[in-house]
Structure 1
Amino acid sequence: MSDIIDVWMQHPTARFINNPIFESLRRWTGGQTVEETPPASLTLGLMDEGKVNKGLISAWYAPHGDMISNEEVKELVDAHPDRFAGLAGVDLRNPVKAVQELRRCVNDWGFKGLRIVQWLWELPPTNPYYYPLYTACVELDVPVCLQVGHTGPLRPSETGRPIPYIDQIALDFPDLIIVCGHIGYPWTEEMIAVARKHPNVYIDTSAYTVSRYPAELVSYMQSDKHKVMFGTNYPMLTHAQCVESLESLGLSEVALERFLSGNAKRVFGL
């Protein structure tokens, strides 16, 4: 099998796992709260079990503070550079400091992009708070990674709509690389339409196992080999769960290689 790169995962801290906003996800997945941050060896072992070579691990910032800090991501990347690459998080509400932090993460620490989870802020991605960061991503030549589709946590889903939001961003920033995680369900056809329309828009499959990929997404993956990337949303799903039944997708050898790693290497410069 091809190399596998996970473009959306977290090495969770205790304050990430235990956060009340994930209570509904813990109920669905059977996850538990923890007393301390799990060791890196746990995450690496689960990656090995799923034969995942490398993961883009995200920092998480929300209005109440950091759930996984950029410093914690850097520490893991520095300790395991062959297995992890970093995605920055920032505080949207302070645009100047947010841009400065993004520049530090990319220029000084080698991070590969910016992750913003819109539902944490309850702000659509066309809100003015985002636009200085999009400009910085273009200047730094790194992707912005956004969430699309409904929210598992009990927060409003409107901020995850591909149309009008992702469509509008791609029009306003034609040079911005936009990676849309969580496939866009239940607006998957909208998400595919936006990815077809804009050469700078991509999709990742995080938060879904193969058996739950919508048929229209599978058809798109078979016909357009350079727009969809593999993701898990670990620790919500394990890597082994997300690679199970890959053969059922019916992808050609070329399409499978690009989905599992080739597109990620190109888009994120890995």
Structure 2
Amino acid sequence: MTIDVWMQHPTQRFLDNDMLASLRRWTGDAMPAQDLPIDLTIASMDAAGVGFGLLSAWRGPNGLDLVSNDEVATWVRSHPDRLAGLATVDLDRPMAAVRELRRRVRDDGFVGLRVVPWLWRLPPTDRHYYPLFAECVELGVPFCTQVGHTGPLRPSETGRPIPYIDEVALDFPELVIVCGHVGYPWTEEMVAVARKHQNVHIDTSAYTTKRLPPELTAFMKTRTGQRKVLFGSNYPMIGHTHALDGLDDLGLSDAARHDYLHGNAERVFTRLGQVRS
């Protein structure tokens, strides 16, 4: 069963935000004019044989609320056999952020924390993150983030794997980190950091199978890389069928394909077993 580790069910607030103008150009400016039912997201998963997905909440500074934890919790409750949540928090309120993460994991069954650094213009080495890293370790959930350039109209510097992910992994060797969007144009840096640190992983969200950088696909075929790369779509920016098209052409072994599509996700997101049982 394929697991998608980076997807969002978009609210109208998310789709209408000015910073996503570049994404609207890529999709032909064909954004809907009203909130969409969660069943459309489930249908996209069904069309591609994706059995389970991790829905991300999105929050930024100054009260920017694009997809709330409450909304994600509601969608997960409507399809608990298909969806789990990744929490968002307010970095400007550190203790409230820690308590929110704790509550969402313990009470609502969320399986990780996602913070998108370019939304905050704060790299992951900023002190605002560090209480959350400690709490992720205590809760046994991954810290999920974005690496590489930003498609949205925001600066890209916060997405550098080196120094940012490298230094976080040095400071918190027990922290499980999942880096989405493959790190392009610094994919070689991202692969190097994943090789170096036991608990650093990469997900392929925002890239179709046919557009995955060759240095990443080569890494996936190594003994280390086979256990380090997870499938993600970045739905709705990329539909699930489109994201997986060309999978047979990657030349992965049966074992590597198993790990990429679901084995690594089941191992990295340890709470998945609890929410799916």
Provide the TM-score with structure 1 as the length reference: 0.98
Matching residue's letter, 1:180: C
**How large is the Cα RMSD of the aligned pairs?**
0.8
The aligned residue for residue 6 of structure 1 is 4
Residues 103-145 of structure 1, C-alpha deviations (whole Å, 9 max, x = no match): 0000111100000000000111100000011011001010000
Task: Find the residue that maps to 1:56 and give its secondary structure.
Answer: strand
1:155 aligns with 2:154: yes
Q: Is the 8 A contact 1:5 1:260 kept in 2?
A: yes
The aligned residue for residue 176 of structure 1 is 175
Distance 1:170 1:11 in 2: 30
The aligned residue for residue 193 of structure 1 is 192
How many residue pairs match? The answer is 268
Gaps of 5+ in 2: 273-277
The aligned residue for residue 126 of structure 1 is 125
Residue correspondence of structure 1 range 24-63 to structure 2 within 5 A: 24-63=22-61
The aligned residue for residue 217 of structure 1 is 216
Task: Find the residue that maps to 2:148 and give its secondary structure.
Answer: coil
1:95 aligns with 2:94: yes
Task: Find the residue that maps to 1:179 and give its secondary structure.
Answer: strand
Q: Is the 8 A contact 1:18 1:34 kept in 2?
A: no
Task: Find the residue that maps to 1:225 and give its secondary structure.
Answer: helix
Distance 2:65 2:129 in 1: 18
Distance 2:127 2:192 in 1: 25
Q: Once the 2 structures are TM-superposed, how far is the Cα of residue 35 of structure 1 from its aligned partner?
A: 2.8
The aligned residue for residue 19 of structure 2 is 21
Matching residue's letter, 2:117: Q
Matching residue's letter, 2:153: L
Distance 2:180 2:33 in 1: 29
Provide the TM-score with structure 2 as the length reference: 0.95
Residues 176-208 of structure 1, C-alpha deviations (whole Å, 9 max, x = no match): 000000000000000000000000100000000
Distance 1:38 1:31 in 2: 16
Q: Once the 2 structures are TM-superposed, how far is the Cα of residue 31 of structure 1 from its aligned partner?
A: 4.0
Distance 2:240 2:105 in 1: 26
Taking every aligned residue pair, what percent have the same amino acid on both sides?
A: 61
Matching residue's letter, 1:261: H
